[in-house]
Chains A and B, each alone.
Chain A
């Protein structure tokens, strides 16, 4: 069974810019039969200094928040560990983001390969398109059926 990490955090920045951000990550899988399953974390722990690369891989390019920003601000966060079932075909990470009072949802999709997890699609906060357009793109990039994507994203 493969283990993956997801991160929830709260951040308040005052320097160099003012930012209040809260992020909650939900993990869902689409299995080989097309079923959608929401996963619960097996365990969780507080974010440590040694998590800098993990954190930045998760958020630096998508939310433009880096570990250096955490050092700058008031911060609390957890790293959640998920066991991915062997019959998983796709992993969806859905990030619920509250940024300076605005709410958005970002999606990242990974495909399970034999010995690795391959990122198929991810969204960036500064270039977020309309939801329908995004779903079309997900379907085309990840080769997923539209109704499945709608279900994952909407539920």
Chain B
């Protein structure tokens, strides 16, 4: 048996592996993989004998498996309804009871649950079954969803030092920066999965734009068959390097996924000042962006409406706003957790309030709602389709159409989503049972218009019944050429609530479709990779890393010299700054001292020359 010391000391000499061929990398990865799997009674214990009981006033929803937030041992947990909300409770024999808000609204929980569809799993898992879930990730045979989005960490270096982040290189004590050959190996691993190989990739970090060979990485991803590539960034480098935005676009980047925690310096000290310049440079490059707020109760949830309005104001370049309710890490007492905890239904209700009902709770659907679209197209074409079959509680989405006069029309107001999805599911089943495809297509041709209320459809889609033509193209002709026009002046609104150890639910992990490919060739669900970094992210990246000294010697650079220093004065004086926030906030009312304080408090130094 491998001891804890062996695992924490184990490391390969990455300077040597950096020279290795693809085949040699593969051999090393396969050898290391099983060594790094968490071991029972060394890394965690199994305490599933104890089933948590319900208390007065609580109504059982279900039981599940979870992990202890402190010792990571496997526990049984109960999910229950109380006071109109959904809670999860578990008890560790060593660390006591943990109770957490799971979903802030039981009614929305029940209505979302009706949309649960499970996936087809992985036909060729990368790893054998040797440990209970969630200690066997890789993907293992238990996994129910194929990857919809693969994350590839290309560096743990970052030019910021946000106070809450422990991931970046100087705090971690090593530099994780896989070579191009190693990256190709990882991308190939993720493409091997069947029945649906990954086609969408997110390049992430650290800060991926710090890699000088980022464009080469995008080229490699294209060569390996990825058709959608997004770069997850703070955008800071792009604010000052328009050429980089152009190069990313030309290399094949589809969209940027950019941190955006609010519209003021107080709520978004990470990149408030740089965002206007990033958007300008993206416009020039023709590269779209999805804004990604991490939502914290009492901190930036009051700006949800403004964040969406900001996205709508810049709808020419902003493709969506994807809200991520905060995951709480570290040891945190319940009182403090409840202060910051916000869940998907809480955010949905806030948006309803802050947009005066223009985007209401009924406009949101859980991610797996669209699974029948895949079933239908797969049944008609005979070609496997991507299915979004996450757990219903993981995410929600809607689509907003902006009229020329500024009016907002969520897609749900003119498409009867519920009936349309039901129809597509039924027709897919009929084809599976042997009904002739042409009869089904004919019926679809006849019925599709009935799912659309033309009187409520946005004007440009109402004219000439364009909306119906779009639907015909997608569902009858399977032609997606006109989708660009369909998306014109639309804003995707999404939510994805990544878990933490307090609300951790194995049922959600097993259905996750956002994965990380690791340097040992395993592919791990987001909520294992980041929620149990001791067993996945940190454990594996450290093994395949350079020491800080090695990296600095090799590159001739100093890690700390790369830290970003902000010239606020220059940024707020620029026309772009005023233009982008105009109508959202009154920038003239924010004293310069407040700007400086917000940046410094966050950990980003301010310079004035």
Contacts and interface: CB of A to CB of B under 8 A. Distances in A.
A88 B122 CA distance: 31
B121 interface: yes
A49 B49 contact: yes
A16 B507 contact: yes
Contacts of B113: 15-17
Contact of A61 (B117, B132, B141): B141
Interface residues of B, number: 37
B103 to A, nearest CB: 12
Interface stretch (B56-64, B198-206, B475-483): B56-64
Nearest to B384: A127
Interface in A36-88: 49-50, 52-53, 56-57, 60-61, 64, 66-69, 71-73
Contacts of B141: 56-57, 60-61
B133 interface: yes
Max count, chain A CB within 10 A of own CB: residue among B46, B49, B62, B393: B62
Which bucket holds chain A's interface residue count? 20 to 34
A61 B133 contact: no
B116 interface: yes
Given A16-B113, A127-B120, A127-B195, A68 B393 contact: no
B129 A68 contact: no
A126 B62 contact: no
Contacts of A49: 46, 48-49
Interface in A102-155: 124, 126-127
B65 interface: yes
A86 to B, nearest CB: 27
B113, B120, B142, B393: residue with the most chain A Cβ atoms closer than 10 Å: B142
Interface in B117-176: 117-123, 125, 129-133, 140-142, 144
A68 B135 CA distance: 13
Given A61-B125, A61-B141, A68 B507 contact: yes
Contacts of B195: 126-127
B510 interface: yes
Contacts of B118: 17, 64
A69 B143 CA distance: 12
Contacts of A53: 129-132
B364 interface: no
B62 A124 contact: no
B91 interface: no
Contacts of A60: 121, 129, 140-142
B566 interface: no
B342 interface: no
A124 B122 CA distance: 10
A71 B76 contact: yes
Contacts of B116: 16-17
A69 to B, nearest CB: 8
A16 B132 contact: no
B504 interface: no
B144 A64 contact: yes
B121 A124 contact: yes
Nearest to A15: B62
Interface in B2-57: 46, 48-49
A72 B132 contact: no
Nearest to B393: A16
Nearest to B124: A61
A56 B261 CA distance: 41
Contact of B133 (A64, A67, A73): A67
B121 A126 contact: yes
B125 A68 contact: no
B117 A17 contact: yes
A88 B282 CA distance: 67
Interface in B259-277: none
Nearest to B121: A64
B392 interface: yes
Contact of A14 (B62, B125, B510): B62
B312 interface: no
Contacts of A57: 129, 141
B79 interface: yes
B392 A67 contact: no
B133 A68 contact: yes
A126 B142 contact: no
Nearest to A57: B129
Contacts of B119: 64, 126
A151 B607 CA distance: 82
A66 to B, nearest CB: 5
B506 interface: yes
B507 A52 contact: no
B595 interface: no
A72 B64 contact: yes
Contacts of A61: 121-123, 125, 141-142
Contacts of B49: 49
A14 B539 CA distance: 36
A72 B133 contact: no
Nearest to A72: B62
Contacts of A126: 119-121, 195
A17 B48 CA distance: 23
B341 interface: no
Nearest to B51: A71
A17 B116 CA distance: 6
B81 to A, nearest CB: 11
Contacts of B46: 49-50
Interface of B: 46, 48-49, 61-65, 76, 79, 113, 116-123, 125, 129-133, 140-142, 144, 195, 391-393, 506-507, 510-511
Given A53-B130, A61-B121, A68-B142, 13 more contacts: A16-B113, A16-B393, A49-B48, A52-B133, A53-B129, A56-B141, A60-B140, A60-B141, A61-B122, A67-B132, A68-B64, A68-B510, A72-B63
A-B CB proximity, top 7 nearest: A61-B141, A126-B120, A15-B62, A17-B116, A60-B142, A49-B48, A16-B116
6 contacts: A15-B113, A16-B511, A71-B48, A71-B76, A72-B63, A127-B195
